[in-house]
Each structure stands twice: as C-alpha cells, then as structure tokens.
Amino acid sequence: MIQIENTFFALGESCTRNCLIICDRGAMDASAFISKEKWEYMLATNDLNSVDLRDNRYNQIIHLVSAANGAEDFYSTEDHVCRSEGVETARELDYKAAAAWVGHPYFDVIDNSTDFETKICRMISSICQKLGIDVGDRLLTNSRKLKFLVRGPLPSDADFPPFQDFDVVHNYLQSNNPQMQARLRKRGQKGHWSYIHTIRKPKLRGQVVEVKTQLTHRDYVNMLTQRDDSHFTIFKKRRCFLINNQYFQLDIYREPSHPRCKGLVLLETYTALDSIENTLPFFLTDVVDVTGNPAYSMFNLSLKEEWNATNKFCHGLKDPMDGDSKKPLEPTTAAFLKTVTSEEGKSNGIPNGVAGTVRLNGVKNGVKNGVSIDVPNGECGKHNGVSNGCILNGVNNVKSSGIFNGACAEKIHLSGDTLKRAENGDSTGPKMHAVNGSIAVNGS
C-alpha cells in the first residue's frame, strides 16, 4: 500500500497542475483488522511509527460511516464482491477503522444522519474547506464548529473511550494585515512531531476561511523567527476521542501561559446536528457552550497584555461583505474571561457574558439564564448560586453566596427585605454590590 501511494505522491509532485490525491483506505486502516501485537511488530520491523503514518502522511482523513451503522436498511452484501460481513461485524469493523485514525489533526466523520446525496455533498464540502476552495452555495451544509468550556476536575482516564493524547505547541506569527491571523502548530507523541502553518482569513459569506499547510521541521524552525512577541506561546495537552460517531478534541491548557488560561479546558467538535446535547460525552458533566465567544479564542487567550489594556483583542474576523474590510476591528473588553469568587473562595468558572449554571459548594443549582425563582428563607444553604442573569427572591442575609456574572459578586444584605428582579441594569430592590458590571438580567 505504501509503495503504491508513494508512486502516486511522486507523480503528483512532478505534475505542473494542482493535484488532489485520494487514497481509498490509508495505511492505518490495516491496524483495524489485525491484533495490536502484530501491528506494533509490523511498525517496528519497517521502522515506522503511528505519528508519521497517521498524522504526517495524509493531509486529511474522512471516515464515511458504514451503512451498517445508522442506515442498516441500505446495507447489503449483494453485488459487492469485497463485502461479506454481516451487519454486526461490519459495524464493529467500521468502528475499529475509525478508531485507527483518532488523533489525526484533520479527521472528519461523515455519518448517516442525512440521505446519501447530502452525505456525499458533506464529504466534498469538507474537502473544499480544507483546501480553501470557495464553492459558494453549491454544497451548502449546516455543519458547524462548536466549542464548550469544561469545568473540572476532569474524570479519570478510565472514564474516557479509547483516546490519543498529544503535546501541542502554538505560536502566532507577525502579520501585516490586521484582518488575517497566522500561526504555527507543533503536535506530537513520544518525540515524533507534525507541523502545520495556518492562515486564518477574513470571513467569506459568513464563514471564516482557514488555509492549512503541512511543513517540514526545517520550514517550521525557519518560520518561528516570525513569531509575534505580543503573544504567549500556547502549550496544551490535546485528547482526541470518538464517541457515538462524533469526533471530539479536548484541549487542556498548560503553563507557562497567561493566568487567564490557568486550569482552562475546552472541548471542540464539528456537527451538522440541530442539537448536540444528547451526543456530548456523558462523563463530562459540567459543560458550557462558548461557541463564538471571543473570550475563548486562542488568539485572544494568548495575548500577553490584559484585554482591557490592549488594542489587539479580536472580536472576530470581519466579512468584507459587511462593510469596509480595511478598517481594523475595534477590540472589546466586555467579554473578557473573569470568574467571580464566592464567600468560600471558590470560583464559579463562568466567564462574563456566558450563560450557564454554576456549581457552588458542590451543589448544581440548575437555574437557567434569565430565570428568577423563589427560595424559602433559611433554604439558601440548599440552593447555592444562581445562573448568569438570574436573581433569587427572598434569599436570606449574609449566608447567600450572591448572584454571579453581571449581578452581585459580593454578599447580599437583606434583613428580611424582598429582593426583586432587576432588568436592563436598573435595580428595583435593595441596593446590591456589583463587580464587572451593573445589576442586570441577560448579561447587561
């Protein structure tokens, strides 16, 4: 297989036109059909390693989920000379084949949640996006990138499905165009590395375009001389895993970094589902959707300056269709990452402007954004904490930990008075002390 591929790779490199080489099956697929011991023996005998075969050999991996997994009515062995497995065996082998590629930096899983024609369009669209080819609205899909804040502590490794862990290093590069971001990524396991150069362009038809180029070690070292000194180098542990045909990346930020990144854990995935709530990893129990929140952009997280003292904070790459693309984006300080501490000294972990429930003293309150509830006097010990923008009615005196994120960040002194809901920044009840903004509903 490797010899055949190398022949076509050499032909592609010698061609004067742009080439896209598509390999039906890749070298790692063989590991799904033999024992782990035999696979590792093959690698050792041929002086190969998984990082080179999986991460460096192919620019993108697309796993088309078998019809045996989600479209069983269409699975058949008739008229298929190479297909003899029953549905159960085919489903098991399909999962093993997908698991063989877990950890590749650009791994897309195309499931059977749509009809076949749409499935093919989703596949082609993912390839075009990787190549930076604008296909207009011809391959419209609703697939989107989602990002979640994961509040620790993380569960033990045994609670995860089979996973691959990587060491990841990001460096932002200098750019003459404030509407473009350039960065280098070094990613590897056990001393074997892959290198990627990414250029993030302004939005085009509402979508950010990223052009990624695989680099040699020499090119990587040369380009590091263009490092932007206004950014910290970002160090992460990246855990990749597959669950319910959904591919996830869990980024655990490491020091040295800005204090804003201390303890930060982010979960990312791509999906075409309307709701992903039921497919999120069940073992991650405290997760908040922060998709699109600039406070969780790696570009902003890596800035050395404080966000309220810099003009480099990026709220988003502007779409030229929205107006003057030459005018730099104004930085925002309204969404900067800041947690509020309770009486016990525990942080609720929710950044400003993000809705979500909070854990306080080990109790999850379960109150959603914009909801106000009544709590009987004396019950505050059982109902600690309130979601962003929520205000309790009848919280009794200083035992309350207060209201978080855009409301009260200190104690509430009521002395039997009734605390009323405050809207649009106006307090209609007793005076409350606020940090990070006025007393409000919906984050105002």
Domain ranges of the chain: 1-135, 144-302
The CATH-assigned architecture of domain 144-302 is Beta Barrel (2.40)
pLDDT for 279 equals 82
pLDDT for 378 equals 40
Residues forming a β-bridge with 183: 172, 198
pLDDT for 402 equals 38
In 153-206 the beta strands, taken as DSSP E runs, fall at: 163-173, 181-189, 192-204
**DSSP conformation class of 156:** P
The Cα 244–Cα 281 span in angstroms is 9
- Is 296:149 a contact under the CB 8 Å cutoff? yes
Alpha helices in 171-318 (DSSP H): 217-223, 298-301
Q: Can you give the pTM of this predicted structure? A: 0.50
pLDDT tens per residue across all 444 residues of the chain? 999 999 999 999 999 988 899 998 899 999 988 999 999 999 999 999 988 999 999 999 999 998 888 888 777 766 555 667 888 888 899 999 999 999 898 899 998 888 787 888 888 888 888 887 776 555 656 667 899 999 978 999 999 999 999 999 999 999 888 778 999 999 999 889 999 999 887 765 555 667 788 899 999 999 999 999 999 999 999 999 988 778 899 999 998 888 899 999 999 988 767 777 778 898 998 999 999 899 999 999 999 999 988 888 988 765 544 444 333 333 333 333 333 333 444 444 444 444 444 343 333 444 444 444 444 444 433 333 433 433 333 333 333 333 333 333 333 333 333 333 333 343 343 333 333 333 333 443
Of 155, 49, 144, 68, the C-alpha closest to 112 is: 68
Q: What angle do CA 439, 441, 443 make, to 5 degrees?
A: 85
